Amino acid sequence: MVLDDLGTSLRGTLDKLRGKSRISEDDIEEIVKEIQRSLLSADVDVSLVMELSDSIEERALEEEPPAGTPARDFVLRIVYEELVDLIGESTDLPLEEQTILLAGLQGSGKTTSAAKMAWWFSTKGLRPAVVQTDTFRPGAYDQAKEMCERAEVDFYGNPDADDPVEIARNGLEETSEADVHIVDTAGRHALEDDLIDEIEQIEDAVEPDKSLLVLDAAIGQGAKDQAQQFDESIGIDGVVITKLDGTAKGGGALTAVDQTESSIAFLGTGEEVQDIERFEPDGFISRLLGMGDLGQLAERVERAMQQTDVEEEEWDPEDMLTGQFTLNDMQKQMEAMNNMGPLDQVMDMIPGFGGGIKDQLPDDAMDVTQERMRAYSVIMDSMTETEKEYPKAIGASQIERIARGSGTSEDQVRELLEQYKMMERTIKQFQGMGSDKEMQRMMQQMQQQGGGGGGGGMGGMGPF
């Protein structure tokens, strides 16, 4: 994910304090210099870097850490609070009727973001509609229409019209039954006068409740001027940062947020319609520093379970805690995991498993793990229902047949069966919890093993 390098660098810097109970001025000076280097490398504006690092240094020197608090945890809390303060609150987007205007340069991801945002509003019980006004870019209408079909939301555009202002007016009328209107405008390769004039005319026609600037995470220092000009033209209420699944540095987008005195509304985290997150500063910075994001994790889990249940309604994940755990349960669990998105993003949200642990894994570790999960799914598809219900009865001849039928090796089939046994043992531990207090105690033990500073490990989870 974007800013991963920044997060890794910040965590590495803070780890230099591990084991210390007190910090000296020299320690703080070294930490602040490292933080400055990290932020500048991530394309954060110099003036912002100096402002942030000065605040961190001042607080670290003047504030007294609570009794018994390790030096690393004390400085980590200060860095966390200052970064959250720098980014500010999430853009206010009430779940009610509203019109949202999207602006940005060509290639920033406006059209994709429009459909993603519409999908997000639909999951909150509202009826959204996307109005496509881009008459400049070839294929803009087709892309928007196809994305909205995938998002299963209302769409209006007119590929035969050449007046974007007229399209905008007609679009609002044709989709009048929608609760939320998202108006997508044309971009250019640069901030040309005709682009600004066009957006201003569309703004006058649709009278948006919010105007959001869409920025590619890779924009770098150019974000500052772009944000200023759009803000002067139509006023920017919030920013949508796209392509956060790439390797871009991302600091330029954060600079733009500060430059327009606005806030972040959404984060685009992938290519699929569902790859969008409502921005929450606490969770975002928490993930960056390797502390997890339980709020976003809970939302993904809920969505994943809903999508899995739609495919086969008779499967209830809670049955695993009361009855026999089968390979059918394991397969459904894997489908739910896939529905949660890329494994590295999910790991970032789990306290103790993102950040420090991920930094220690090989670069291709997540890809290898997801590839293994896909292989397991193919193997299970080659099994009979009886074999999936009673995997302990699978013998050598069946392993040979399953491997041949799935195009995998016998070792891979055996590996799957070993993984199943490991998961079955874990499930039985949960089944043995006799009271809520025992369950809470177990969860606390897991949290102590995995959280609070990047410790813990993935050994208990087996190959996953």
CA distance 253 to 267: 11
Angle at 271 between CA 105 and CA 226, to 5 degrees: 15
The answer to whether 296 is a known ligand-binding residue is: no
The answer to whether 187 is a known ligand-binding residue is: yes
- Mark whether 197 and 109 lie in a shared domain: yes
- The C-alpha R_g of the chain, in whole angstroms, comes to 25
Q: pLDDT of 380-419, one tens digit each?
A: 999 998 998 888 889 999 999 999 999 999 999 998 898 8
The answer to whether 289 is a known ligand-binding residue is: no
Residue 204 lies in a domain: yes
Residue 368 lies in a domain: yes
The answer to whether 222 is a known ligand-binding residue is: no
The answer to whether 12 is a known ligand-binding residue is: no
- Mark whether 134 and 269 lie in a shared domain: yes
The answer to whether 14 is a known ligand-binding residue is: no
The answer to whether 188 is a known ligand-binding residue is: yes
**Residue 338 domain boundaries:** 317-348+358-431
Q: What is the CATH number of the domain that holds 161?
A: 3.40.50.300
The answer to whether 242 is a known ligand-binding residue is: yes
The answer to whether 243 is a known ligand-binding residue is: yes
- Mark whether 109 and 247 lie in a shared domain: yes
The answer to whether 186 is a known ligand-binding residue is: yes
- Mark whether 262 and 155 lie in a shared domain: yes
The answer to whether 108 is a known ligand-binding residue is: yes
Residue 457 lies in a domain: no
Q: What pLDDT shows up at residue 430?
A: 54
Tens-of-pLDDT digits for all 464 residues of the chain? 345 556 666 667 777 777 777 778 888 888 888 888 877 877 777 888 888 889 988 988 888 887 777 777 788 788 888 888 877 788 899 999 999 999 988 888 899 999 999 999 999 999 999 999 999 888 899 999 999 999 999 999 999 999 999 999 999 999 999 999 999 998 876 667 778 889 999 999 999 999 999 988 777 666 677 777 888 888 889 889 888 765 445 566 666 677 667 788 998 888 889 889 888 877 777 766 665 544 555 555 555 555 555 444 454 555 555 557 788 777 777 776 666 565 555 555 554 444 454 555 555 444 446 677 788 889 999 999 899 888 888 999 999 999 999 999 999 999 889 888 877 776 666 555 444 454 445 444 444 433 343 333 333 333 33
The answer to whether 104 is a known ligand-binding residue is: yes
**How far, in Å, are 82, 106, 126 from residue 238 at the CA level?**
20, 18, 21
Direct distance between the N- and C-terminal alpha carbons of the chain, in angstroms, rounded to an integer: 20
* pTM greater than the 0.75 cutoff: no
Three-state SS for 154?
A: strand
The answer to whether 13 is a known ligand-binding residue is: no
- Mark whether 106 and 208 lie in a shared domain: yes
Q: Are strands 264-268 and 154-156 parallel, antiparallel or unpaired?
A: unpaired
CA distance 4 to 289: 10
Q: In this structure, what DSSP letter does residue 90 have?
A: B
The answer to whether 111 is a known ligand-binding residue is: yes
Residue 408 lies in a domain: yes
Residue 453 lies in a domain: no
Number of structural domains the chain divides into: 3
The answer to whether 36 is a known ligand-binding residue is: no
Q: What pLDDT shows up at residue 148?
A: 96
Q: What is the CATH number of the domain that holds 408?
A: 1.10.260.30
